[in-house]
Amino acid sequence: MYQKTLSIIKPDAVKKKAIGNIINIFETNGFTISDIKMLKLSMEEAREFYKEHAARPFFNGLCEFMCSGPIVAMCLEGEGAILKNREVMGATNPSEAEAGTIRKMYGDSIDNNAVHGSDSTESAERELNFFFSN
């Protein structure tokens, strides 16, 4: 199924100057980048974006991290884009991510894991609207 999904290059990967390499990985894997935006989230925006995790002990730290510097939000498109993006990203914890995945290459820890990707059609729609509503 042809799908759209949201990818975010997180502040840690931007600081590492990995934007170009990460975009190259997406394009090499066949995704079409159909929209892209660099921005810095406010704390309020980060809390709204990650609201599904509001009750988790790591929520405040996660939101502070996502506000700690600029991010790059992208719309990735292609066949099975949502699951394929999750595969290209690798496991949430970079130490468990497979070789060749973005998180293995650029993630340092579970809370500094380089990229975000939508995990379902519902979250992809909500998250794309969050960044690209007009």
Q: Is 103 annotated as a binding residue?
A: yes
User: Does residue 83 bind ligand ATP (CB under 6 A)?
Assistant: no
Per DSSP, 98 falls in state P
DSSP-derived letter for residue 99 is: T
56 assigned binding-site residue = no
Amino acid at 38: M
Residue with tokens 């990995």: 18
Residue 58 touches which of Mg ion, ligand ATP, none (Cβ within 5-8 Å per kind):
ligand ATP
Choose the binding region for Mg ion from 34-42, 55-63, 75-83, 114-122 (rule: CB under 5 A). Answer: 114-122
Indicate the Cα dihedral angle 63, 47, 91, 15, nearest 10°.
-40
Q: Does 67 bind ligand ATP (CB under 6 A)?
A: no
Which long-range CB contacts under 8 A does 45-52 form with residues at least 24 apart? 48/130, 49/127, 49/130, 52/123
Write the binding mask 34 to 53 for ligand ATP: x where contact by CB under 6 A, - elsewhere: -------------------x
Q: From the list Mg ion, ligand ATP, none, pick the one residue 110 interacts with, judged by a Cβ distance below 5 to 8 Å according to partner type.
A: ligand ATP
126 has binding-site annotation? no
CA neighbor of 8 nearest in space, from 54, 87, 76: 76
Q: Binding of ligand ATP at residue 77 (CB under 6 A)?
A: no
The one of Mg ion, ligand ATP, none whose footprint includes residue 21, by CB under 5 to 8 A per kind, is: none
116 is catalytic: yes
CA distances from 127 to 71, 88, 98 (A): 14, 19, 26
Q: Which residues are annotated as a binding site?
A: 10, 58, 86, 92, 103, 113
Q: Annotated catalytic sites, by residue?
A: 116
